[in-house]
Amino acid sequence: MAITVVGSVAFDSIETPAGRRERCLGGAATYFALAASYFTEVRVIAVVGEDFGKRQEAVFQARGIDTRGIEHTAGKSFFWEGSYLDNLNEAKTHITDLNVFAAFEPKIPPAYGDSEFLFLANIDPVLQRRVREAMPNARMVAGDTMNYWIKDHRPALLEVLKGLDVLLINDTEVRMLAGNSNLVQAARAVLAMGPRTLVVKHGEYGATVFHSSSAKGDGAEEPRTFRAPALPLEEVVDPTGAGDSFAGGFFGYLASQPEVTPSAYRHAMFYGSVMGSFACERFGTERMQQLTRQEIDARFLLFRELTHLD
Amino acid sequence: MAITVVGSVAFDSIETPAGRRERCLGGAATYFALAASYFTEVRVIAVVGEDFGKRQEAVFQARGIDTRGIEHTAGKSFFWEGSYLDNLNEAKTHITDLNVFAAFEPKIPPAYGDSEFLFLANIDPVLQRRVREAMPNARMVAGDTMNYWIKDHRPALLEVLKGLDVLLINDTEVRMLAGNSNLVQAARAVLAMGPRTLVVKHGEYGATVFHSSSAKGDGAEEPRTFRAPALPLEEVVDPTGAGDSFAGGFFGYLASQPEVTPSAYRHAMFYGSVMGSFACERFGTERMQQLTRQEIDARFLLFRELTHLD
């Protein structure tokens, strides 16, 4: 099944203990699309400026990603500059220039209309909702958000949550959204806001999926709380985009399956972790651009070994 | 196989979001011994004051723990007061009164001499080493330590590490000991200091075991890096002693096995996580005192389900 993703396509300047890179191709929709492209057909809705040229376009083309929904306008693309010098688990933002993204009005190409899977990356919940409503054929909708929207745009965000099948956020965001520091209680509170399934990303410790009691899969088995590990990595070059790559692996795998069964969810959690771990191995989207399905499946087995009892 | 544990037996006053308790029976050796007692025979070496009476003694007796190595002296027992009001993952220490523990000279009853398993809980590395040398029949020695010894007693600690089969410490301690913030690199550096096996405890995220390349089990299979999850807990009443209970479950299970195989290590990691999770459910050692092997095995299966792919 094809996935349409709406979100940011951006340039990032990144500094980590491993070095510094200027203006890497980045943005949540880019990481997500690249990661998901190893599993299924992907279509992107975004806006870029005049600095997004053939070289950037080629990155999407090489992975067979549909870019007809990337609008080109006058001005500069979204730019982010950040560093991870003290703590690889948390970016310190130096510059956020929204540029053309400030006036983003998602335009959905007619060819995207039959997408059955829709991913609402971390953007203004008002836009997330608008895209969701404009794509009534999407039968499975997942989304992301961040502290800014949780704190200052709560009513709009709550509207989005009502329509989500899967929300993917990190520990801090779950606790902030629920106003509860206990992860299990916070997860239950967030599920009560609408999403049938909640994926909580724990950074280097993996991720946990919680299901609301009504979230039965297509099969007879009841989906259960499940935790996927993250691979302890020898070298984290750049954690930027690891969460979006997780989402791309997770949702891409689900979209590639004939049925979204409880077992498919568990495998999707592992594939999410796998793609998140690859993302950290090089600066920006470098690693996401040049993987093979063989490498992905080899790492899947490594992850499985890591927690498999016998 | 019998385990001898040397460490603190103490009284703890604890405040958490769930409430406050005055002078609970605590101490690393207490948590460890209670947890391990569900798997194997346990013997304790410690020192207590006049405030340790029949009621406290009865807690050990009820679990069949040998207390002949608990020395009773004039004065008060080790006392700790701490709280977890802001962060359940990190205690804030208000009072540490070493009391009789300040002059602790471990005395090993002759009846303990045949212990094949020895656990050196978090005490002065000089004492850890003395006990290890006084128990030459111990064929498997595990130990714990903390930031204080890592920072200010490094030479003595390094001597202890040389003789350890298994070191069990947390993320922060591994990174501090190695002077490296990358977990995998830090683990390798710590293994190079002596321990054949390193268990890194991640608090609510479980634990990872790393083996040095020479650490072959008794079987033909090479032990591999393995991660056990922690159960996402609905309510954490009191995290005090969770790490020591993990160590008790881990080492107790290993000591109960006919051979320390790679598979035994993986199961031990799960049993460690299981005992750590139980410890958090009540104040102090309350939960550790009244478990059944049936409850423990039921939770083991729950943990297995939590990460088992199919």
In this structure, which long-range contacts are made by residues B60-65, counting pairs with CB atoms below 8 Å and at least 24 apart in sequence?
B60/B30, B60/B33, B60/B34, B62/B289, B63/B33, B63/B34, B63/B37, B63/B38, B63/B289, B64/B37, B65/B33, B65/B34, B65/B37
The nearest CA of chain B is from the CA of A225 a distance in Å of: 6
Q: Does A86 touch chain B (CB under 8 A)?
A: no
Does the pLDDT value for residue A220 go beyond 90? no
Find out whether A231 and A277 touch, Cβ atoms under 8 Å: yes
pLDDT band at A224 (very low <50, low <70, confident <90, very high): confident
pLDDT value of residue B281: 95
Find out whether B158 and B134 touch, Cβ atoms under 8 Å: no
Question: Average pLDDT for residues A87-111, to the nearest whole number?
Answer: 93
SS (H, E, C) chain B: CCEEEECCCEEEEEEECCEEEEEEEECHHHHHHHHHCCCCCEEEEEEECCCCCHHHHHHHHHCCCEEEEEEECCCCCEEEEEECCCCCCCCEEEEEECHHHHHCCCCCCHHHCCCCEEEECCCCHHHHHHHHHHCCCCCEEEECCCHHHHHHCHHHHHHHHHCCCEEEEEHHHHHHHHCCCCHHHHHHHHHCCCCCEEEEECHHHCEEEEECCCCCCCCCCCCCCEEECCCCCCCCCCCCCHHHHHHHHHHHHHHHCCCCCHHHHHHHHHHHHHHHHHHCCCCCCHHHHCCCHHHHHHHHHHHHHHHCCC
CB atoms within 10 A of CB A220: 8
Tell me the residue type at A238: D
Sites in chain B below the pLDDT cut of 50:
217, 219
Does the pLDDT value for residue A267 go beyond 90? yes
CB within 8 Å: B306 and A263: no
pLDDT value of residue B220: 57
CB within 8 Å: A307 and B305: no
Rounded distance, CA A108 to CA A103, Å? Answer: 16
Rounded to 5 degrees, what angle do the CA atoms B308, B309, B310 make? 100
Find, among B221, B167, B206, the residue nearest to B189 by Cα. B167
Find out whether A129 and A160 touch, Cβ atoms under 8 Å: yes
pLDDT value of residue A214: 59
Chain B residues 163-222 with CB within 8 Å of chain A: 181-185, 187, 202, 204-206, 208
Give me the phi and psi of A208, to 5 degrees please.
-125, 135
ipTM of the complex in this document: 0.84
Cα dihedral value B272, B109, B24, B120, nearest 10: -40
More confident residue, B16 or A219: B16
Contacts of B246 (CB under 8 A, 6+ apart): B35, B168, B201, B207, B272, B273, B275, B276, B279
CB atoms within 10 A of CB B104: 20
CB within 8 Å: B270 and A308: no
pLDDT value of residue B214: 59
- Element holding A10 (H helix, E strand): strand A10-16
pLDDT value of residue A88: 82
Find out whether B98 and B31 touch, Cβ atoms under 8 Å: no
- Element holding A4 (H helix, E strand): strand A3-6
Residues of B in contact with A253 (CB under 8 A): none
Phi-psi group of A116: left, alpha or beta (phi > 0 → left; psi -120 to 50 → alpha; rest → beta): alpha
> What is the pTM (predicted TM-score) of this model?
0.91
Find, among B147, B92, B140, B89, the residue nearest to B119 by Cα. B140
Chain B residues 276-305 with CB within 8 Å of chain A: 304-305
Return the structure tokens found at A214: 């009504």
Q: List, edge to edge, every strand of the sheet that includes A140-143.
A: A66-72, A42-48, A3-6, A117-120, A140-143, A166-170, A197-201, A207-211, A226-228
Rounded distance, CA A303 to CA B226, Å? Answer: 9
- Looking from the CA of B286 toward its CB, the CA atoms found within 13 Å total 14
B186-234 confidence digits (pLDDT tens): 999 999 999 999 999 998 889 999 999 755 545 456 778 999 988 788 8
pLDDT value of residue A232: 80
Q: Does A239 touch chain B (CB under 8 A)?
A: no
A245-261 confidence digits (pLDDT tens): 999 999 999 999 999 99
pLDDT value of residue A161: 98
CA distances from A191 to A132, A247, A289 (A): 19, 18, 34
The mean pLDDT of chain A is 94
pLDDT value of residue A53: 97
CB within 8 Å: B305 and A236: no
Of the partner residues A202, A267, A310, the one whose CB lies closest to the CB of residue B263: A310
Of the partner residues B88, B208, B267, the one whose CB lies closest to the CB of residue A309: B267
Rounded distance, CA B169 to CA B200, Å? Answer: 5
CB within 8 Å: A228 and B307: yes
CB within 8 Å: B232 and A227: yes
Return the structure tokens found at B168: 């069990």
Which residue of A85, A86, A227 to mutate against B (max B Cβ within 10 Å)?
A227
pLDDT band at A40 (very low <50, low <70, confident <90, very high): very high
Q: Which residues pair with A72 in a beta bridge?
A: A48
Burial track B269-304 (b if 16+ CB lie within 10 A, e otherwise): bbbbbbbbbbbbbbbbbbbbbebeeeebeebbeebb
